[in-house]
Amino acid sequence: MASAPIIVLANAEIRDEFIMEGMQRLRRGASAGDVAEFIACAVEDDPEEHTVGYGGWPNILGEVELDASFMDGATLRAGAVAGLKGFRHPISVARQVMLRLPHVLLAGEGAARFAIEIGAERRDMLSPEARAAWQQRIAEVVQHEEEDAITLTVRALVERRGSDTMNVIVRDGVGDICSAVSTSGIAWKYPGRVGDSPLIGAGNYCANRYGAATCMGLGEAAIRVGAAAQAVMLMRLGWSLEAAGREVVCQLSTLLGESNAADHMRRADWVRILLMDAAGNVGAFATRPGLSYKVQTADDPWPITREVVCPA
Ligand code: GLY
């Protein structure tokens, strides 16, 4: 029997070397889950990636609050953390939520308590560069010393500093698919803001039998259309990957067009969705042109960068 196609599908911002090392592990027989976690951890450690892990942009108070989720397509088990502070690898904590608890999502203090109990490595996640950028932004938006966090957040968010996200979908040699998502969320967000990344169904969904989807960009939009689960459910209903991606992005575009009138979303105005179907076909779709993604199969010596489809 021919083995299943081995694939790593990732957002274009992930370094080739991380994807290539992940592929090497898959060729040697590693599981999709282990490789998805490995790649996510590598990105979380990268100080130059300012929307994931160490060095991620902080919230309006200067605290790095991290969201992550992990889903196993063979069993539909999932784990996630939201607003986790002070731990090196949110994705690993998310995976352990899946493996050790009868829950899917832990937030804030509970997530931190769990991270301590499992011995997760602590780290101050605010890099000097991220601290300096935050201090500069605060200096730009503060007009009176007594202003509250609501006022400051709304003013600060008019400048978009990314809600890019670490997205990886991995298919291993036995045909299992796992998806991992990790982010520091929108820069200068209101404390406690949770995006789509830790919400199974919004920013992450994965089922061996139908396919997988992960999102990046404005989490509020992905949440409101249930983007990841909806794309996979359309494939479950027999839609092609291309048709499912276009349909979800059209819904997101409509929503964003309406939301762009509202001040709080004026600059954070796109969503990109990565898709893999049950046969291992891949694609990516976005509400604006000019974005790309990376894919590597077992036959490729390195990841190939492809343009996303932007339905007109
Ligand atoms: N997509 C990441 C976020 O909005 O937090």
Is 146 among the domain residues? yes
- CB of 163 sitting under 6 A from ligand 1: yes
CA–centroid distance, residue 27 to ligand 1 (Å): 32
- Paired strand residues for 180: 70, 168
Is 297 among the domain residues? yes
Q: Which atom of ligand 1 is nearest to the CA of 67?
A: 5
Provide φ and ψ at 66, rounded to 5°.
-110, 140
Q: Which CATH number characterizes residue 183's domain?
A: 3.60.20.30
- CB of 197 sitting under 6 A from ligand 1: yes
- Cα 261 to Cα 110: distance, rounded to the nearest angstrom: 36
- What count of other Cβ atoms lies within 10 Å of the Cβ of residue 222? 32
Task: Give the up-direction half-sphere exposure of residue 165: CA atoms within 13 A in the CB hemisphere.
Answer: 35
Work out the angle at residue 119's Cα, subtended by the Cα atoms of residues 114 and 120, and round it to the nearest 5 degrees.
80
- Cα 172 to Cα 55: distance, rounded to the nearest angstrom: 30
Is 22 among the domain residues? yes
Closest-CA residue, ligand 1 atom 4, reads 219
Is 86 among the domain residues? yes
- Candidates 51, 75, 153, 165; catalytic one: 165
Average pLDDT, the chain: 93
DSSP run (H or E) holding 292: strand 292-297
Closest-CA residue, ligand 1 atom 5, reads 185
Maximal C-alpha separation, the chain: 70
DSSP run (H or E) holding 182: strand 177-183
Rg (CA), the chain: 18
Which one-letter amino acid corresponds to residue 258?
E
| Residue 165 a catalytic site member | yes
Q: What is the pLDDT of residue 257?
A: 78
Q: Which two tokens stand for residue 291?
A: 């974005």
How large is the angle between the packed helices 90-100 and 32-45, nearest 10 degrees? 150
The dihedral formed by the CA atoms of 256, 257, 259 and 260, expressed in degrees to the nearest 10: 110
Report helix, strand or coil for 277: strand
pTM (two decimals): 0.95
Is 227 among the domain residues? yes
Is 1 among the domain residues? no
- CB of 183 sitting under 6 A from ligand 1: yes
Tens-digit pLDDT profile for residues 171-193: 999 999 999 999 999 999 999 99
Question: pLDDT category, 4, cuts 50, 70, 90?
Answer: confident
The dihedral formed by the CA atoms of 198, 304, 57 and 38, expressed in degrees to the nearest 10: 60
Is 272 among the domain residues? yes
Tens-digit pLDDT profile for residues 67-126: 999 999 999 999 999 999 999 999 999 999 999 999 999 999 999 999 999 999 999 999
Is 312 among the domain residues? no
Q: Which two tokens stand for residue 37?
A: 């976690």
DSSP run (H or E) holding 216: strand 211-217
- Cα 134 to Cα 154: distance, rounded to the nearest angstrom: 15
With 50 as the cut, is the pLDDT of residue 1 above it?
no
Q: What is the pLDDT of residue 154?
A: 85
With 60 as the cut, is the pLDDT of residue 264 above it?
no
- CB of 46 sitting under 6 A from ligand 1: no
Question: pLDDT category, 211, cuts 50, 70, 90?
Answer: very high
Instruction: State the sign of the Cα–Cα–Cα–Cα dihedral 234, 239, 244, 246.
Output: negative
The dihedral formed by the CA atoms of 230, 233, 238 and 244, expressed in degrees to the nearest 10: 20
Q: Which atom of ligand 1 is nearest to the CA of 186?
A: 5
CA–centroid distance, residue 116 to ligand 1 (Å): 25
Q: Which domain holds residue 287?
A: 7-307
| Domain count for the chain | 1
CA–centroid distance, residue 198 to ligand 1 (Å): 9
Rounded percentage of the chain residues whose pLDDT exceeds 90: 85
